[in-house]
Structure 1
């Protein structure tokens, strides 16, 4: 199961920032997350058993929005 803290840590590692520097409503693209890095994160999270669709994540690029998608996905499992 993916936690919000783990998700924030994974994103931070991908963009070489401290997790606490990523605010819930910060635009992840503005922080340096490009589409290839975002896709790599989704692949990593999908390997943990989540059935995530990149198109959902591309619509809203914030930690809060991504967590809402993941939380819904995990609730269905």
Structure 2
């Protein structure tokens, strides 16, 4: 038996799962890239820590912008990263699709 309502709910669940996976992927990607540039485990960085105080400089910020653009995360600008140099802000920025 073919129930369109059941198929719609199953389809919505699949979309929700893909969105949840992508959200987790963004956080993991940002943490890994920042950790690599700082020479530490990205998972150990407090999401509210000021990354400039931790040693991230303008050259490394540009490296992140270029890397994330190449990965298809458009809309990321140097000024946005420099203005709010925290993992949590960058993840939110990428999830929202660009500049605020």
Q: TM-score, normalised by structure 2?
A: 0.68
Q: 2:89 aligns with which of 33, 48, 65?
A: 65
The list of structure 1 runs, each at least 4 consecutive aligned residues, that deviate by more than 2 angstroms after superposition, is: none
Does 1 or 2 have the higher relative contact order (CA < 8 Å, sep 6+)? 1
Alpha-carbon displacement from aligned partner over 1:27-67 (angstroms, at most 9, x marks no partner): 00111111100110110010112221111111111000111
- Structure 2 unaligned runs (5+)? 1-21
Q: Please say which of residues 49-58 and 26-35 is displaced more in the overlay.
A: 49-58
Q: What is the aligned-residue RMSD (CA, Å)?
A: 1.6
- Structure 1 unaligned runs (5+)? none
